[in-house]
């Protein structure tokens, strides 16, 4: 009889879990929709900004045969100091979302260490911070709360500091890692080189801009401002992208959890019924054998 009660209690608890995971899934799907909308709107801005940067860079390259003479475009072949920024979520319960980013970051750090490159880590999001702190790896900078609610101002403050240290020569390269959104069921870890601007990404020769006038007349002023904005915006966009991916990952994880809970309830119910029948049979046998002995 104790077994029966035990199973019944278990069923109740699994059902409760199922309700929670189902609710979390619904919340995530609602949030995902909102984040997706935000991402869609900012994508237009991002593409236009890149387009403009592309054109200015192309113009400068055409004017100068030796490439672009600007601090943001200096590509050093063997960087000695690298900054890695990585974005994780503040919360868990989203499957392998955070561990994927962390794994990629760890791999990259090892690669750089093997080449004797000094690496500075900058973490966004509680999960990544916790992981590296637990493993005793020092973080240069950390920020919590930004990955759950991307804010352009905060993001640009965060990234400006990194960009400044690049301009001052404290770092040769800035890499941004985040887990990006592909669709409802897929996320993909993305690794972008933030600075120096990756010229291979720009289609420098595809545009003819010989007649492009620039105001203020000094190309560098405009380019500097543009690159700065580009860096800030890439950071901001990555945050949104990461948030969308987080929600989709959580949705998936919670969906799987709900399905598993359903399965478990089914199994437990069968077990419960079996136990119930068993106990009835035992009781019957007891009664019958009792009557038998009375004869």
Residues of this chain that interact with another protein (CB under 8 A) are 41-42, 44-45, 48-49, 52, 55-56, 152, 209, 211-216, 221-222, 225-226, 229, 233, 236
d(CA 18, CA 131): 28
Shortest Cβ 50–another protein spacing (Å)? 10
Q: Six-digit token pair at 281? A: 């049979």
Distance from first CA to last CA of the chain, Å, rounded? 29
Is 116 or 211 the residue whose CB approaches another protein more closely?
211
* Distances 40 to 43, 134, 136 between C-alpha atoms, Å: 5, 36, 38
Shortest Cβ 207–another protein spacing (Å)? 11
Is 184 or 212 the residue whose CB approaches another protein more closely?
212
Shortest Cβ 221–another protein spacing (Å)? 8
- Give the 3-state secondary structure of residue 84: strand
Q: What residues form DSSP beta bridges with 193?
A: 175
Is 55 or 90 the residue whose CB approaches another protein more closely?
55
292: exposed, middle or buried (Cβ count in 10 Å: 0-12, 13-18, 19+) = exposed
d(CA 109, CA 190): 15
Shortest Cβ 237–another protein spacing (Å)? 9
Q: Which run of H or of E encompasses 217?
A: none
Is 221 or 279 the residue whose CB approaches another protein more closely?
221
d(CA 165, CA 88): 23
Shortest Cβ 260–another protein spacing (Å)? 39
Shortest Cβ 40–another protein spacing (Å)? 9
Widest CA span in the chain: 117
Shortest Cβ 216–another protein spacing (Å)? 6
Count of C-beta atoms within a 10 Å radius of residue 242: 29
207: exposed, middle or buried (Cβ count in 10 Å: 0-12, 13-18, 19+) = middle
Geometric angle at alpha carbon 125, from 89 and 87, rounded to 5°: 75
- DSSP type of residue 210: T
């Amino acid at each position: 009889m104790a077994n029966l009660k035990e199973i019944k209690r278990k069923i109740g608890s699994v059902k409760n879990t199922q309700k929670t995971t189902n609710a979390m899934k619904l919340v995530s799907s609602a949030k995902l929709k909102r984040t997706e909308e935000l991402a869609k709107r900012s994508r237009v801005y991002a593409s236009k900004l890149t387009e403009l940067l592309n054109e200015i860079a192309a113009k400068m390259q055409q004017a100068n045969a030796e490439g672009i003479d600007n601090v943001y475009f200096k590509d050093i072949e063997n960087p000695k100091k690298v900054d890695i920024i990585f974005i994780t979520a503040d919360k868990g319960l989203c499957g392998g979302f955070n561990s994927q980013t962390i794994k990629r970051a760890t791999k990259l750090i090892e690669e750089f260490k093997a080449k004797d490159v000094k690496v500075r880590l900058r973490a966004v999001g509680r999960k990544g911070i916790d992981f590296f702190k637990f493993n005793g790896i020092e973080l240069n900078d950390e920020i919590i709360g930004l990955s759950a609610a991307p804010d352009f101002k905060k993001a640009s403050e965060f990234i400006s500091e990194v960009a400044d240290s690049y301009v001052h020569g404290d770092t040769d390269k800035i890499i941004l890692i985040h887990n990006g959104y592909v669709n409802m069921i897929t996320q993909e870890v993305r690794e972008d080189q933030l600075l120096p601007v990756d010229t291979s990404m720009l289609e420098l020769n595809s545009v003819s801009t010989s007649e492009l006038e620039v105001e203020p007349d000094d190309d560098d002023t405009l380019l500097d401002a543009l690159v700065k904005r580009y860096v800030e915006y890439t950071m901001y966009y990555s945050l949104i992208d990461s948030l969308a991916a987080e929600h989709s990952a959580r949705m998936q994880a919670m969906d799987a959890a709900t399905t598993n809970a359903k399965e478990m309830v089914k199994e437990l119910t069968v077990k419960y019924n079996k136990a119930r029948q068993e106990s009835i049979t035992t009781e019957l046998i007891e009664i019958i054998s009792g009557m038998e002995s009375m004869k």
